[in-house]
Structure 1
Amino acid sequence: MAHAEQFDRPNYVGSQSCGNCHDQAMQDWQKSHHAQAWTEPSEKTVVGAFDGRSFSHQGMTTRFRRKDGQYIIETDDIPGGKRQFPVVGVGGIAPLQQYIVETEPGRMQSFDVVWDVEQERWYHLYPDQELVPEDGLHWSGPYKNWNARCAECHATGFEKNYDPKRDLYQSTQVETGVGCEACHGPAQAHVEWAEAGTSLAKGKWSGVNGIGLLVNLNLTDDGQSAVRRYLAGTTQPLSRLTDTEVQIQQCASCHSRREPFEGGNPLPGTPFHDAYRLSILRPGLYHADGQILDEVYVYGSFLQSKMYANGVTCSNCHDPHTAQLKAEGNAVCTQCHSPAGNPDFPSLTAKEYDHPSHTFHLADTAGSECKSCHMIERNYMGVDGRRDHSFRVPRPDLSLETRAPNACNDCHDDQSARWAAGKIADWFPDSSRREERHFSQTFAAARTDLRSQRESLIMLAEYDQLPGIVRATALDMLLPIADPGLATRADPMLSDPDPLVRVSAIALQRGAPEVERSARLAGLLEDPVKAVRIAAARGFLGMRIAYLPPRINENLGKAMGDWQSSLKSKADFPEAQMVLAGIGLTTRRMEIALSAFGEAVDMDPQLTQAWSMMVRIHSAMGNRQAALETVNSALEANPDDVPLNLMRADLGG
């Protein structure tokens, strides 16, 4: 018999093992978008027309056909000229389907011409972009690499396994598609528990709960002990966590815009902020009021909502196995928003919501649908409508000041925001909301004149009744003008319950003198949340400290190790190479900086800032010839870039 220490963590067993006991859940899951998130090409999975038809874009022609039982993409749109690629993977099922090809052994790329399932046509995801094959954003480039950018959220038990020395992927996954164990965790111990019909043998498995799972999404068994590790990742009390937070963070691992810390799926049950750094409400991603702009998915929006603050979780609205809404139309909302209310959410006013007296639109029209007013929809990938999950009240009055969109003018696009604001004022004359200042007013003003909003931003960050993601964003916006005064104001937020706030407060300490900064950040090097520890390690970068007490020095080494491991896992990301180059500059290790900048431009030749820094470093080191060769290479990829042309002129080239 094997020794107990050989059974550290349970292994994955595959979704089909679950159907023996969970038949209905299995049937529901098999028809879901999760199950079909990534499949192998076959008659059952491919819906696109591989019948010889062609598609042309920006002078490039692609033909889709069948050959010897394979699905073939033949295209001019590839470095080196026309090539044929067998389809090796199918991404998604509706409303579009994307196809994955292997451009080199192990390197999978998601092709940019995709199939519109509803309209039954081929179309290009980025019709307005002129992406030449040498561009980093081209479908064959690093930003469209399936191994690095997509597979983690389309597979179960995925490991990227990138070798930077050989520039080679040897990726593996337990299962293509989002299987049962992608959410519930590897189930070997759970199967043993189910088959034995008795409690698990003590000491055989590490980290599992009473039924043999690493994460218990129902939290009916050992709920409080299973959830305590999430306490550092949320402002919510334990009683709420046992109902919602574990599930929300598990869903958020894919349904969020974030930076990963690992090279593959974190083990299910890993708290979100131990595996990712969440993108906050930055320009280009979100409007000034926090509405979705770019493809940010759901988590960042949901954190802004009153629903999140009051204990609503994903499965209150979505069936976790079908991945569909639990009811049709407004019925999903009237589970709670009704005269009967819902005892699970006692703070909600019980009244009639699904009625013209509230909607001010005729019943059974688009304007009477809850989602039309409270969940604006935006299209991504051309045809994929996604809804904002901040569940905000329409504020056309704010649109007049912030230029953020509003739900009223989404439908009434022939009218002005002023007209819509007047309608709202007529319908709700006693509302006090219009008299209260909204954070978007400060954010919008700060985006054009940061210094004028200095005090307003720090006050937003200090106001702990706002969502943590809003407060963290306010701190983040202040970084360009960080100074000792702002660092001191942010000091109390270094111990804020929300890790998003702690991370942004750490960054603002760059404005403090080094002695004060190191004293403030030392304790955060052993914060229970990895995102915070990494932020603290970054805060120490470049400090000229002669001596640190042994414990702090040890913690700094561990936190730096977390950061370095995170960057290593993203060695195939141009943006990670830019961070490594920045570290080299900060620590005055110019060869490391040059190497990382060089890796970045190899992956993405359009990174003109990297080229410029390489030229400056060579010049500063007295190597004019290397500087001239670098700027010439840069201009081959970016011939119209003005700063690079000026650099070459300065070098006499």
Structure 2
Amino acid sequence: MAVASKESVLANFNNQQAKHFTQTAKFYRKNDKYYAELTHQDKTTTYHIEYTFGHYPLQQFLVKGEKGRYQVLPFSWDSRSKKDGGQRWFAMYSEEDIMPADRLHWQQPLQSWNGMCADCHSDGLTRNYNPTDNSFSSEWDNINVGCLSCHADQRQHAQAYQQGKKQTTHSLVDNSLRYITGAWLRNQGEKVAKWRNQDGSPAKPRNNQFMDACFACHSLRSPVTDGIDANQPFFDQFSPQFLVPPLYHADGQIKDEVYVYGSFMQSKMHQAGVNCLDCHDPHTMKVKTLDNGLCLQCHSPDEYNVQEHHKHPVASAGAQCVNCHMPENTYMGVDDRRDHSFKIPRPDLSQQFDTPNACVQCHQASDKSKDNAWAAKTLKQWHGPAKSLSSSKRDFMRLHIGQMVSIDSHMRIIADTELDDMTRATALFMLSYRQEPLPLAKLASYVTDKSDLIRLALARALNNQPAEQKVSLLKPLLSDKRRSVRTAAAQALVDGPTSVVDSAVFKQAFEELATEHDINSWRGEGRLNQGNLALRQGNMSQAIEAYQQAIVVEPYFDLGYINLADLYRGQNQAKLVAQTLEQGIKAVPLSATLKYSYGLHLIRQKQAHQSVNYFKQAFEIDSANPQYLYALTLAMDNIGHSQKALDMLVKRYADFRGNGQIQQMGMYLAQKLNNRQAYQVFML
């Protein structure tokens, strides 16, 4: 990040113009300052470029917004070479015309530098958000990323050195790197190196805690404190996202913009002790080499860097390790990022679970006939039958795509220590998706699990369980060593019988939770969390105010309307429910969730015929959601359109095979209509 100047601006501001659907832009200089002139629906506004943001492969630009905000312009500069398609202005959402009444519009909170970007692009940044007046007074120590971001405040370190005093460790980076206990060495005949002493004997496990500083920015997470301190553990500052859909594919490969943490934590590399600096330069962050030499630091070239292994011409793209084991996804229009779970391509699993694989991603670009079946057959010819998945891994993938998995099988996933902690923690968190009572006694051992991920997942998994049942289980987590675990436990217990909990311990954890909600309340989700907290405490007026503020802060965030309507429903205020949902549909007309919620409201008001139209609209907007199809066909059956409902289910069942609710609905209608042929469809 830098002040916009001749030295920092990479883009062409020589009266350049860009157009994207209904929006046009002109970029120019005047008196050594940089400006963007944006026109939408015949309204033109000029903005002074205050800061540049990023440099490669794209550069973004910040302009002043309201109440201390800086907003990211909707057009960015592609700083790649012309040969690579760069040196041009482009719209970040290239396939969409983002209108002002959209929460992704550049003037909305989700495009605010203060909340979305700031803490990872400047040293010592604090957002300083004030939830009372919805304003920011963000500050930093250095405008750009520098020493502090990784090494923390070293002033005491410098003073001690100048005074000749004994050095003390400060940051996690210093603690980790002060003592190197071994090296990656391969004994003769081994395919892969292990962490060893110089004599070849096993070395002490590496201290890789410095990666917490890396994960602070290279992860999808929610902050629990304001700013980043390299002295503090990751879980004292952030609550990371698990491998849930739609963020990740069923096998754990990245799908949405989730960065590196979630994928790397699954990998065999992480489990073996590999850290970021084995591949990346500690200061430039670039990989040490762009060829296979990067992987051959540990992997035998005689085994892996040969055509017998990769089956592609030597030095071709297909012979590069990363192209098969770290496939790229493109984010922000031009930013290619590699998956860090280091998967082996499995087109056979792609056929079953709709997961991507490098073979098809590469070959289908030139030959559409080279599909998953072709790739699976080819790999089998090359390397023999694919390795069978463990029952736990297969059940996890089934769970991930919404198929039915018994509670016993679900618990076995969590208990399977052959799986990585990230996968197990995700399965533990996914217990919150289940409707039946959970075997809480079998979860007791996870309270003291050494993995921060596992303890966090436990606290979040039990959030909606009956208060009396979970209090004894979660009570120890209120004093957990990690702040994110403590706040998750406080969230789960806020409506419980806290008289059995040490009042001082709960008070501290609750105050930390309230702070967490406050610092995140600049966006709609943060206000909802405040409202949910008040609701669970029984404070209705405070909950209503928080939900109303969610709509004020983000008027195009559909869940703000839905939560407020649900609260009114609990108070039997049907008129306010209807008004709130109608207001939401007017603001966000393409929200399937709002249409579905309004359909449910109509059902409760005995207006089943009208509800069908809203369920139909919801399913048309989001045709991958089985709940919308279920509600639609149930309502159709309710008004006497059972045959049409059955026809619809038969037609769409292939898309929802394995979904128990859809299957049961289809079988019920087939039995009701005495349609044996249709019944067989749902039995397959």
Provide TM-score, normalisation by structure 1: 0.82
Residues 493 and 90 (structure 1 numbering): CA distance in 2 closer, same or farther, change over 3 Å? same
The residue that corresponds to 2:230 in the other structure is 268
Distance, in Å, in 2 between the alignment partners of 1:222 and 1:167 is: 46
Between the aligned partners of 1:575 and 1:514, the Cα distance in structure 2 is 24
| 1:50-65 map, 5 Å | 50-65=13-28
Q: Which residue does the alignment assign to 2:174?
A: 217
State the partner residue of 1:255. 218
Classify the secondary structure of the residue corresponding to 1:455: helix
Residue 603 of structure 1 corresponds to 553
Greater shift, 284-293 or 568-577, is seen at 568-577
Measure, in 1, the Cα distance between the counterparts of 2:119 and 2:318.
Answer: 38
Task: Tell me if structure 1 keeps the 8 A contact 2:244–2:400.
Answer: no
Q: C-alpha distance in 2, partners of 1:402/1:573? A: 34
Cα distance, 1:643 vs structure 2? 5.0
Q: Per the alignment, do residues 319 and 565 of structure 1 end up closer, same or farther by CA in structure 2, a change over 3 Å counting? A: same
Partner of 1:445: 398
Preserved contact between residue 288 and residue 440 of structure 1 (Cα < 8 Å): no
Structure 1 residues 98 and 534 mapped into 2: Cα distance closer, same or farther (>3 Å)? same
Q: Cα offset for 1:620?
A: 5.2
Counterpart-to-counterpart distance in 2, 1:464 and 1:517 = 24
**Following TM superposition, by how much is the alpha carbon of 1:489 offset from its aligned partner in structure 2, in angstroms?**
2.7
Amino acid at match of 1:597: Y
| Structure 1 residue matching 2:543: 3-state secondary structure | helix
The partner residue of 1:495 within 422, 428, 448 is: 448
Matched, 1:570 2:570: no
Partner of 2:329: 378
Match 1:190 to one of 157, 165, 171: 157
- State the SS of the aligned residue for 2:417: coil
1:279 Cα deviation after fit: 0.7
**Residue 355, structure 1, aligned to residue 310, structure 2:** no
CA distance 1:455–1:620, change in 2 (3 Å): closer
Tell me which moved more, 287-296 or 157-166.
157-166
Deviation at 1:66, TM superposition (A): 0.9
1:145 aligns with 2:98: no
Note the C-alpha offset of 1:127: 2.1
Are the aligned partners of 2:172 and 2:212 in contact in 1 as well (CA < 8 Å)? Answer: no
Return 558-567 or 214-223, whichever deviates more: 214-223
Larger RCO (CA under 8 A, 6+ residues apart): 1
Using the TM superposition, name which of 611-620 and 416-425 deviates more.
611-620
Q: After superposition, what is the alpha-carbon deviation per residue over 1:126-174, rounded to whole angstroms, capped at 9, x for unaligned?
A: 1223322132211111111101110100010001111222222111101
Select the residue among 434, 442, 452 that pairs with 2:387.
434
Q: Deviations over 1:444-475 (max 9, x none)?
A: 42245444343332211110121111001112
1:642 aligns with 2:595: yes
Which of the numbers 537, 540, 548 marks the counterpart of 2:500? 548
SS of 1:379 mapped into structure 2? strand
Q: In structure 2, what is the Cα distance between the partners aligned to 1:511 and 1:42? A: 52
Q: Is the 8 A contact 2:213 2:230 kept in 1?
A: yes
1:44 equivalent in alignment to 2:7: yes
Match of 1:177 in 2: 144
Whether contact under 8 Å (1:286, 1:292) holds in the other structure is yes
| Structure 1 residue 336 corresponds to structure 2 residue 286 | no
**SS of 1:364's equivalent?**
coil
Residues 207-606 of structure 1 correspond to what in structure 2 (within 5 A)? 210-211=167-168, 213-217=170-174, 219=176, 221=178, 243-265=206-228, 267-338=229-300, 351-413=302-364, 414=367, 415-429=370-384, 434-437=387-390, 441-481=394-434, 483-509=436-462, 514-544=467-497, 547-548=499-500, 552-606=502-556
User: Structure 2: 5+ residue runs without aligned partners?
Assistant: 81-85, 182-194, 196-201, 608-684
Structure 1: unaligned runs, 5 residues or longer: 1-37, 201-209, 225-235, 340-350
Q: Distance in 2 between matches of 1:567 and 1:579?
A: 6
Q: In 2, Cα distance between the equivalents of 1:448 and 1:321?
A: 40
For 2:215, give the aligned amino acid. Answer: A
- 1:293-345 CA deviation, whole Å, 9 max, x = no partner? 01111111110111111111111110011211112311111111126xxxxxx
**Within 1, Cα distance between the matches of 2:240 and 2:567?**
32
RMSD between superposed Cα atoms in Å? 2.8
Contact 2:456 2:485 in 1 (8 A): yes
Structure 1 distance, partners of 2:430, 2:496, is 23
SS at match of 1:65: strand
Displacement of 1:644 after TM fit?
Answer: 6.9
Matched residues in 1 for 2:569 and 2:503: separation? Answer: 36
- What TM-score does the superposition give when structure 2 sets the normalisation length? 0.78
- Maintained 8 Å contact 2:413/2:427: yes
Structure 1 contact 483–510 (Cα < 8 Å) conserved: no
Partner of 1:13: none
Q: Counterpart amino acid of 1:166?
A: D
CA deviation after TM superposition for structure 1 residue 590, in Å: 1.6
Secondary structure of 2:419 counterpart: coil
Q: Is the 8 A contact 1:199 1:211 kept in 2?
A: no
**Is 1:90 aligned to 2:57, yes or no?**
no
What is the alpha-carbon distance in structure 2 between the residues aligned to residue 522 and residue 114 of structure 1?
49
Q: Is the 8 A contact 1:244 1:313 kept in 2?
A: no
Aligned 8 A contact 2:121 2:144 in 1: yes
Q: What amino acid is the match of 1:403?
A: D
Residues 1:88 and 1:290: Cα distance change in structure 2 (over 3 Å): same
Amino acid at match of 1:558: Q
1:176-235 deviation line (CA, Å, top 9, x unaligned): 121011111112122223333x115xxxxxxxxx256444436454899xxxxxxxxxxx
Identity %: 30
The one-letter amino acid paired with 2:379 is I
Partner Cα separation in structure 1 for residue 126 and residue 410 of structure 2: 41
**Counterpart amino acid of residue 536 in structure 2:** T
The structural deviation recorded for 1:417 is: 1.2
CA distance, structure 2, for counterparts of residue 127 and residue 523 of structure 1: 49
> Which deviates further from its counterpart, 458-467 or 507-516?
507-516
- Equivalents in 2 of 1:618, 1:509: separation in Å? 26
Deviation at 1:628, TM superposition (A): 6.2
Question: Where does residue 29 of structure 1 map in the other structure?
Answer: none
- 2: distance between equivalents of 1:222 and 1:337? 25
8 Å CA contact 1:394, 1:408 repeated in 2: yes
Q: What is aligned with 1:199?
A: 165
- Structure 1 equivalent of residue 123 of structure 2: 156
Contact 2:27–2:37 at 8 Å: present in 1 too? Answer: yes
The 1:443/1:624 distance shift into structure 2, 3 A limit, reads closer
Q: Choose 496-505 or 442-451, whichever is displaced more.
A: 442-451
Report the alpha carbon displacement of residue 101 of structure 1 after superposing the two structures with TM.
0.8
Q: Is the 8 A contact 1:185 1:269 kept in 2?
A: yes
CA distance in 2: counterparts of 1:493 and 1:516, whole angstroms: 16
Structure 1 residue 629: Cα displacement: 5.4
User: 2:387 is paired with a residue of what secondary structure?
Assistant: helix
Give the 3 Å change call, closer, same or farther, for CA 645–303 of structure 1 in structure 2: closer
- Shift of the 512–59 alpha-carbon distance from structure 1 to 2, 3 Å rule, reads closer
2:375 maps to amino acid: A
Task: Please say if residues 147 and 160 of structure 1, whose CA atoms lie closer than 8 Å, have aligned partners that are also in contact.
Answer: yes
Select between 327-336 and 419-428 the one with higher mean Cα deviation.
419-428
Distance across 1 between alignment mates of 2:485 and 2:252: 23
Cα distance in 2 for partners of 1:531, 1:642 equals 35
Q: Which amino acid aligns with 1:566?
A: E
> What is the alpha-carbon distance in structure 2 between the residues aligned to residue 482 and residue 619 of structure 1?
22
In structure 2, do the counterparts of structure 1 residues 439 and 130 end up closer, same or farther at CA, with 3 Å as the change threshold? farther
SS of the residue 1:592 aligns to: helix
Contact 2:170/2:231, CA 8 A, preserved across alignment? no
Residue 103 (1) aligns with residue 56 (2): no
Q: Does 1:73 align with 2:36?
A: yes
CA distance in 2, matches of 1:121, 1:492: 56
Q: Is the 8 A contact 1:106 1:168 kept in 2?
A: yes
Cα pair 1:219 1:242 within 8 Å, conserved: no
CA contact (8 A) 1:468 1:501 kept: yes
Alpha-carbon distance in 1 for matches of 2:177, 2:356: 42
